[in-house]
Amino acid sequence: MFCVSCHGQEAATIDRGWRNYGPAMLYKYMTSFLLRMQSFINESADSDSRSSDIGDAPYSLNEFHRLFAEEYGSVITDGDVTQKAVVYHTTPSKRTRNVGWYHVFEYNSNPIDTRPDPEQNSPALARSTTRDDFWCGICTAVGDSVSICIGHVLVGKLVLTHFPDILGSSKLLGIENIRSLHGMKISKEHKMEVLFPDFDRFKDFVKNCLKKTLKWNKHPFAIGFSDAARQKLLCQYELCSNFEIENSDGSLDPALQQSIATALSQRNLESILSTGLRGMNSDYIDFLLELRVYYDQQYLALCANDENLSSQKATILLRNNWMKADFFLPFLPG
């Protein structure tokens, strides 16, 4: 909003999302009124065009911005003069790691300089665009004596429900089928795409899940597997088959619903992940979204302190710490 010149022209760095935003349209309407008033004052010989004590002319944009900024700071800090207001600076779309930054809000009537995003070219961000360890590195739990990623069980359930003909077949899940999966409801309020915003990453996730983990083209796993390997694949199949998804009306098995609520309230990651192998509802998906944000923040902090730290190593360090019995997630889940 404050990215304006003294003549009220929008800075070139303001994107289309802001220009089409409701508050931005209101702001544009207000400033256009101020510009007309300022023109009227300048042309009127009878009007009092004296500036304020700090040099802002009446009805000027600088006066409006200053008064608005003072009110903003007062509201955000609840009038506490010992506190500083902040503004949130988001990143361009398709950033898969850092969702934005907070900046201390100190109003200055001069135009804002164009500066690159502070993390835009960091080694940590560069690594994050080539590898994503969140799902298989963090969201993995043990169920029926097998360790498996919650995302794989969720994908497996959807594939079993909507594309069961790939079992024991050389048939592959096509791009349009994967796109269909991406848009499927996984709770009363969410579609799969909220957990996997980047479709290309989701496509790779699904293909790797079916080919390397579930291996459903080999179902019923009677040939070419040791007893231990066959038992593992059958256990994974059962987990996917029994996995429960909240219906469009919000209904879910009451016992599972209670288990999810209890696990989330305890804020213990191991318990939450174990419960997530049985099924999920809207609250659980909201938790996963918050966990993703927390992971991104902690991951970047680790990599910022050690540029040689790999994505996989950073994720292992975080998981080991979070899975301790006395560790409680520092945010309210769901």
pLDDT one-digit tens code per residue, 124-157: 444 444 578 999 999 999 987 899 999 999 999 9
Looking at the structure, tell me whether residues 241 and 286 fall in a common domain. Answer: yes
Contacts of 227 by beta carbon, 8 Å cutoff, 6+ apart: none
Inside any domain, residue 125: no
Domain that holds residue 69: 16-118
Structure-block tokens of residue 295: 């992971």
Looking at the structure, tell me whether residues 171 and 250 fall in a common domain. Answer: yes
pLDDT band at 45 (very low <50, low <70, confident <90, very high): low
Other Cβ atoms closer than 10 A to 158: 20
State the number of CA atoms in the 13 A half-sphere of 90 facing the CB: 7
Looking at the structure, tell me whether residues 108 and 24 fall in a common domain. Answer: yes
Least Cα distance to 284 among 234, 316, 243 occurs for 243
Burial (CB count <10 Å: 0-12, 13-18, 19+), residue 96:
middle
Contacts of 278 by beta carbon, 8 Å cutoff, 6+ apart: 143, 242, 243, 244, 256, 259
Looking at the structure, tell me whether residues 152 and 93 fall in a common domain. Answer: no
- Tell me the C-alpha distance between 180 and 73, whole Å: 46
In DSSP terms, which residues pair with 143 in a beta bridge?
146
Residue 115 is predicted with a pLDDT of 46
Look at residues 118, 146, 166 and tell me which one is the last residue of a structural domain.
118
pLDDT band at 54 (very low <50, low <70, confident <90, very high): low
How many domains does the chain divide into? 2
* Higher-pLDDT residue of 33, 165: 165
Looking at the structure, tell me whether residues 109 and 148 fall in a common domain. Answer: no
Q: Is the pTM of this model over 0.75?
A: no
Look at residues 89, 118, 147 and tell me which one is the last residue of a structural domain.
118
Residue 80 is predicted with a pLDDT of 82
Least Cα distance to 131 among 208, 214, 207, 201 occurs for 201
Backbone angles phi, psi at 162, to 5 degrees: -105, -20
Looking at the structure, tell me whether residues 108 and 182 fall in a common domain. Answer: no
- Tell me the C-alpha distance between 260 and 119, whole Å: 36
Residue 4 is predicted with a pLDDT of 47
Q: Are 104 and 86 in contact (CB under 8 A)?
A: yes
Look at residues 118, 147, 175 and tell me which one is the last residue of a structural domain.
118
CA 250, chain centre distance (Å): 23
Cis bond before residue 330 (omega within 30° of 0)? no
- Tens of pLDDT, residues 170-217: 888 999 999 999 999 999 889 999 999 999 999 999 999 999 999 999
Contacts of 87 by beta carbon, 8 Å cutoff, 6+ apart: 102, 103, 105
- Tell me the C-alpha distance between 180 and 166, whole Å: 15
Inside any domain, residue 63: yes
Looking at the structure, tell me whether residues 141 and 107 fall in a common domain. Answer: no
